[in-house]
Amino acid sequence: MPELSIDGQPFRFAQGTTVAAALMSSGDRCSRTSVSGQRRAPLCGMGICQECRVNIDGLRRLACQTICREGMQVQTRS
């Protein structure tokens, strides 16, 4: 099974899994920290709400519109 990293922790995924689905099934199952410090998870699943914006390989991407790839480095706390 291919593997990526979420906040430094390895995560194995089935081909075609979105990064949002991966985030929601690993670690604290969240995608970002809000301006007042709350941890948040994907909400709309459709690229609208921006709650799932994460850093992937140095670029800000929406997890729900990104497919997991081998070796991706996903950061939810940057």
Partner 1 sequence: MTQHVDLLIIGAGPAGMAAALAAAPSAISIAIIDDNPLPGGQIWRDGPQARLSASARQMRARLQRHGNIQLHSASKVVAFAGTKRLLLENAEEGWVLAYDKLIVCTGARELLLPFPGWSLPGVTGAGALQALIKGGLPVAGERIVIAGSGPLLLAAAATAKKNGAEVVRIAEQASLGDVARFGAGLWRWPNKMIQALDLASGVYRTSAHVLAASGVDRLEAVRVQLGDRVHEIACDRLACGFGLVPNVEIATALGCRIEHRAIFVDQWQASSVADHYAAGECSGFGGSELALVEGRIAGLAALGQRAQARKLWPERKHWQNFADRLNRAFALNPALKKLAKPDTLVCRCEDVPYAELANHSSWTAAKLNTRCGMGACQGRICATAGQTLLGWEPPQLRPPFSPARIATLACLDEDVA
- From 2-10, 45-53, 70-78, give the range in contact with partner 1 by CB under 8 A: 45-53
Q: Does residue 10 touch partner 1 according to CB under 8 A?
A: no
Taking alpha carbons only, the member of 49, 55, 51, 50 closest to residue 41 is 51
Q: Which is nearer to partner 1, 8 or 60 (CB)?
A: 60
Which residue in 2, 7, 17, 55 binds partner 1 (CB under 8 A)?
17
CA-based end-to-end distance of the chain: 27
Which residue in 3, 5, 12, 25 binds partner 1 (CB under 8 A)?
25
